[in-house]
């Protein structure tokens, strides 16, 4: 099974941010069959933190999936 792509993580982050905005403005917010209330705000914010970290994790590098070195140390051979 392939992992989560950066685009998928960004989509989920946007969904959670929209939920937070709706809850904070007093509008009805739905996630699937659930109707979320102000008491669910901490759960929504945990989702935001999770997907934000995934976006940062997947957004690093050159997009090819290769690890990019931050520093290099020369050695004598």
Is the predicted pLDDT of residue 1 greater than 50, yes or no? no
C-alpha separations of 7 from 16, 37, 77 in Å: 14, 28, 43
pLDDT at 65: 55
What's the rounded mean pLDDT across residues 37-66? 82
Is the predicted pLDDT of residue 13 greater than 80, yes or no? yes
| Ranges of each domain in the chain | 6-59
pLDDT at 2: 61
What is the rounded distance in angstroms from the CA atom of residue 2 to the CA atom of residue 26? 38
Average model confidence (pLDDT) across the chain: 84
């Amino acid at each position: 099974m392939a992992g989560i792509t950066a685009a998928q993580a960004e989509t989920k982050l946007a969904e959670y941010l929209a939920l937070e905005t709706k809850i904070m403005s007093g509008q009805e917010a739905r996630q699937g069959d659930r109707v979320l209330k102000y008491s669910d705000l901490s759960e929504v914010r945990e989702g935001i933190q999770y997907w934000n970290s995934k976006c940062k994790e997947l957004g690093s590098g050159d997009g090819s999936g290769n690890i990019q070195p931050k520093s290099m140390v020369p050695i004598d051979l």
